[in-house]
Amino acid sequence: MSDKISATRCRRRSTVLLATAILVAGAIVMVVQPWSSSPTTTAPPVSAPTWTPSILVTTHVATTVNNYEFTAKFANMRTYPINCELDTGVPHGMTAATWQGAYCLSYTPSLLQNVRMDSRGQLKTCVGQDCGSNPALTTPVVNTGTMITAGQFSCVVGDDYVECHLNGKSGNFRISNTAISSGH
């Protein structure tokens, strides 16, 4: 009798495990490929970089995500990470307008600064305690030698800086833990 009960329990466990595996696999497929008849926003196509980075690019990430964030991590452990975001059609405020631009933030114990470049190449900088923001918890970390391209923007991670360009137009900036500059 106990062998029959044991065999029945084993079959039930197998059935439950199989059903759980099917549900998990279905959830993963839905996350990876959400089927939707009408996406709410679409990113513009990725344009090829029209500038030559001053560092050897070993990895190139091209994305069509409307809001792509990344954290630049440097080999020198004394250099703090720099967080950046490339926006290619992100809804702005309560209007139907969208914002396109590159944004980077550097924070150290002694300096908090950020820089924004819009789709015309115009820069806005902010230095001081009111200039911070937090990256998303799932922000990918990229290393020196990585280029990220989204829409008309490209950024490259250097030895201790991030440099971003507006492809095909004048407009660029470089941010490090000590300064923000343009004209590279």
50-97 pLDDT, tens per residue? 556 666 777 888 888 888 999 999 888 778 899 999 998 877 666 666
Long-range contacts of 43-48 (CB under 8 A, 24+ apart): 43/88, 43/89, 43/150, 43/151, 44/88, 44/89, 44/100, 44/151, 44/152, 45/151, 46/149, 46/150, 46/151, 47/149, 47/151, 47/152, 47/167, 47/168, 48/149, 48/167
Asked if residue 138 and residue 91 are part of one domain, the reply reads yes
Are residues 167 and 77 part of one domain? yes
Q: Domain check: are 109 and 175 in the same one? A: yes
Number of folded domains that form the chain: 2
Same domain, 14 and 66: no
- Co-location of 107 and 146 in the same domain: yes
- pLDDT at site 84: 96
172 and 119, same domain (yes or no): yes
Mean pLDDT value of segment 31-54: 45
- pLDDT tens for 100-149 read 899 999 999 899 999 999 999 999 999 999 998 888 788 999 999 999 99
Residue 51 domain-assigned (yes or no): no
Model confidence at 3, pLDDT cuts 50, 70, 90, reads: low
Asked if residue 173 belongs to a domain, the reply is: yes
**Is there a domain that residue 49 lies in?**
no
Q: Is residue 64 part of a domain?
A: yes
Check whether 175 has a pLDDT greater than 90: yes
Residue 65 belongs to some domain of the structure: yes
Q: State the CB neighbour count (10 A cutoff) for residue 132.
A: 14
Q: Could you tell me the residue range of the domain that residue 26 belongs to?
A: 1-35
